[in-house]
Chains A and B, each alone.
Chain A
Amino acid sequence: MTTAAEPLPRNRGSVATRTWAFVRHHTLTFFGILALAYLMLPIVVVIVFSFNDPAGRYNYTWEGFTLDHWTTPFGPPFLGDAVMTSIQVALVATIVATILGTLVAMALVRYHFRGRGATNFLIFVPLTAPEIVLGASLLTLFLNLGTALGFWTIVLAHIMFCISFVVVTVRARLVGFDRHVEEAAADLGANEWVTFLRITLPLIAPGILAGALLAFSLSIDDFVITSFNSGTTTTFPLYVWSAAQRGVPAEVNVIGTMIFGVAIVLMLANVLWQYRREPKGAE
């Protein structure tokens, strides 16, 4: 802990108020740790039960340690296919949503144009609309047009709800962008295209990457919207949903743990990278 963020002990108060301040200070710390423990609890349960050796179909009570599920994570029928479908959907949706979203973010940050407010609103509403309404309305579109539901309707749905998240993430990065660097490049004779590729893109790449990662994780996690537009195609969350009715195999915990592990490693790498850039944790 740094001393800068800590309020200094206040000397002018009585012993009672100082004691109270001390207790309160630690109450907050205690509460914070408790709240973090609460947030971690289900995650720990998921990981622990990936090593469970359930007696029957239900992986509810601890029966004994085994590594079996980790050696054959795609053992249960259809589980591997479902995971594969999820990854394919997420890849396509992420690429398209990241490109479209980045372009929109650039327009919003760099230009003043008619319809800016309307554009902001259009980006904002899908972020807050309940997923069930997004899923249901897309379903009515496909029903009325007679579109067959399947892989591509899922992809369209995922691109749709990812775009806004990409816009918001990339825009946050673009706002602090120093345009003088671009002007310098132009002064040195680079044309607009070269300036974009050599100067702008590398500088906003971390923002784009953050947007893409967010889109990928949202896509791979989505159940609600997918369930409305999947037809007979099964993604990983859809597999889990139908498995929940008849007992979830421990392999699902294994895959859940794997997804969690990959995401945490990526985020930790990001955090560590930030620490390296700002060694004292300064703003």
Chain B
Amino acid sequence: MSFLHRHGWLTPYLLLAPGIAFLVLFFVVPLYYLGYTSLQEGTVQVGYTFTWAWDNYSEAFSTYQEQFIRSLQYAGIATVLALLISYPLTYWIAFRGGRWKNLLLLFIIAPFFVTYLIRTLAWQNILADDGFLVGVMQALGLVSDDGRLLATSTAVIAGITYNFLPFMALPLYVALEQIDPRLIEAAKDLYSSSTKAFLRVTLPLSAPGLIAGTLLTFIPAAGDFINAELLGTPNQAMIGNVIQSKFLEITDYGQAAALSVILMAVILLMIAIYTRILGTERMTG
């Protein structure tokens, strides 16, 4: 300890060292290897060699453009839907929840306690052709008599929305909960309409939660392949499905890595823009 007293500036680095070293070894270094692999060519039989194979990128991009665009579309729609559901829900809990706030909040995180795959399989069950939901919707004329919900893009988007909704709701709740209701009251006392009070006071004050939630929902959604696999068909394949099968089934490592790098690059770009606007500290806690 006397050593630490004399070199006090060292203490934070000693505390950081093991955790940061671990993240460098198993997060940063793997990203380097991902880039390295993305420029390799070869097969399982002959092995893989590094050849600056930029073709991997151009081929990956031209062949799987459709899946890329679909991933961004599905993730975008799911993010908007999650926002439309989460905002009124968390607003209700934050301002009307009273002493039940914590309990109501538990309902929002509850889906996380059911294994991801199992809750997605439950949606398979709910949306099944002979399930009650299809029956009800057919009776209401929302689905044609031979129509189905499972194996459609609607099902995939619905699954993504459900699975990532807590990522939207939690930061939103944190932001809304911090708003002093007296501010909204004050706006109304100053003859602002409810709508105007919402637009001028509540919405801007909840913006950090809204932006963090959007980011935390969109990013995992764009890389997801479970919903497309379990609730869709190859026609709904997202870029995650392509990466997954190329790595684990076809062993086309070069292109699979190239696709991952492209996905990561798009997302890093988004994080950079968001953190520029908000600052990292506010977003991580």
Contact = CB atoms under 8 A, between A and B. Distances in A.
Interface of A: 1-2, 4-7, 10, 21, 24, 28-29, 31-32, 35-36, 38-43, 45-46, 49, 59-61, 99-101, 103-104, 106-107, 110-111, 113, 117, 119-134, 136-141, 143-144, 156-157, 159-160, 163-164, 167-168, 171-172, 175, 191-193, 217, 220-221, 223-224, 227-228, 236-237, 240-241, 244, 248, 252-253, 256, 259-260, 263-264, 267-268, 271, 274-275, 280-281
B3 interface: no
Interface residues of B, number: 100
A46 B118 contact: yes
24 contacts: A4-B98, A35-B88, A42-B111, A42-B126, A61-B130, A107-B12, A110-B12, A113-B9, A113-B13, A122-B24, A124-B271, A130-B219, A132-B260, A136-B257, A138-B30, A140-B33, A141-B26, A141-B29, A160-B27, A168-B284, A193-B1, A268-B106, A274-B102, A281-B101
A221 to B, nearest CB: 5
Contact of B280 (A35, A124, A160, A191): A124
Contacts of B225: 132, 224
A144 B37 CA distance: 8
Given A39-B110, A49-B125, A103-B19, A113 B116 contact: no
Given A10-B188, A133-B267, 13 more contacts: A5-B97, A24-B194, A28-B92, A32-B96, A42-B111, A59-B125, A124-B271, A132-B224, A132-B225, A133-B223, A137-B260, A160-B27, A256-B114
A123 to B, nearest CB: 7
By secondary structure, the B interface counts as: helix
A253 B13 CA distance: 46
Nearest to B238: A132
Interface string B94-134: 01111111111011111111111111011111101011000
A143 B34 CA distance: 10
A42 B219 contact: no
A124 B283 contact: yes
A259 B88 contact: no
B263 interface: yes
By secondary structure, the A interface counts as: helix
Nearest to A281: B99
Interface stretch (B138-146, B200-208, B241-249): B241-249
A121 B121 CA distance: 35
Contacts of A41: 122, 126
Given A39-B111, A140-B36, A46 B122 contact: yes
Given A104-B20, A280-B99, A244 B223 contact: no
Nearest to B28: A122
